[in-house]
Amino acid sequence: MKYSKQSLRFTALSVLLTALLIFAAACGSNANIANNPADTTNAANDSSVNNAVEKQQVSVVTSFYPLYYLASEIGGEHVKAVNLVASGVEPHDWTPKSRDLDTASNAQLFLYHGAGLEGWVDDFLKGLSKDSTVVTKEMSDGITLIEGTEEEEEHADEHEDEHANEHADEKEHDHGGLDPHTWVSPKSALKLAENVKNSLIEVDAANQADYEKNYDALKQKLEALDADYTAKLAQTASKDIVVSHQAFGYLARDYGLNQVAIMGLSADAEPRGQDLLEITKFVKENNVKYIFFEELVSDQLAKTLADEADVDTLVLNPLEGLTPEQEKAGETYLSLMERNLQNLLQALQ
């Protein structure tokens, strides 16, 4: 079929006009979207939803890492948890500042361990704002606590006699004759988790179902950890653990171990020369292969003792807090407790 030149020109012009009309329609559509406020409401609504969720979250302040972990796991999306003690800081060395009082006063729930761990807590609670509606809860309630040993009390008396002028500072770290380190045992951690769950429900009953669900999931993990500790530690040849400070009494009680501590209940307690000689003798006579040290306090004493007794050192984490490196790596109470078990098995084989 043949086409005239005029026909071809008309066809080309038609195609060009059609393309221009399509382009103009598209531009007009985009212009309408850009200039119509109604079309921007999705982004605004998303922002409003996010802000509403944040406002509805229960603000929870905790006194140290294990409670922060439990509150975060059980609270889930309904909780905004803040831990007073920063990563890398040993709780025994920490004292609250005025800003910490403000943080707790503005919260809905303040969780502290009790049993003498936070020597500062009585004054702290008295110092909360008079207008504050924060609910305060002691999490060690219901756990059978271990009394400090007679030897520990004697050392504390001697320490007070030698440093009478430092009495005010020591009060901040006084455990009142009790061993507060309950959380190093999965059995005790289960009770702490239950107490955290009940506290969250008390201040936010509307989300009870989710708190129960999250608690049940965490409970299963803690029960599995407890079963692992029970089964594996029952099979070890040795039961003696030599540790930096007396933080593993509940672990020893619940899993049939014997704790021999270089220092007392507080990580900054000072051992006597006689104690070091006796521990060195114990290590040699009982075929102890490792001396355990911690990551948030100096390992110098443990390593010196290990050199003297000709043994090696290993980490046994009291989980009073995370190091910045552990926090960055995503370590948690569970992962560090699993590592503790592996190190115990290595030392006690």
Which CA distances in Å does 6 have to 2, 10, 11, 14, 189? 12, 6, 9, 12, 91
Please tell me the predicted confidence (pLDDT) of residue 61.
99
Kindly give the confidence (pLDDT) of every residue in the chain, 349 residues in length, as a single tens digit, with 9 standing for 90 and above.
Answer: 444 444 434 344 344 444 444 444 444 444 443 334 334 334 444 444 455 445 589 999 999 999 999 999 999 999 999 999 999 999 988 999 999 999 999 999 999 999 999 999 999 999 999 999 999 999 999 999 999 764 444 444 444 444 444 444 444 445 458 999 999 999 999 999 999 999 999 999 999 999 999 999 999 999 999 999 999 999 999 999 999 999 999 999 999 999 999 988 666 667 888 889 999 999 999 999 999 999 888 888 899 999 999 999 999 999 999 999 999 999 999 999 999 999 999 999 9
Please tell me the predicted confidence (pLDDT) of residue 13.
38
Q: What is the pLDDT of residues 238-285, one digit of tens each?
A: 999 999 999 999 999 999 999 999 988 666 667 888 889 999 999 999
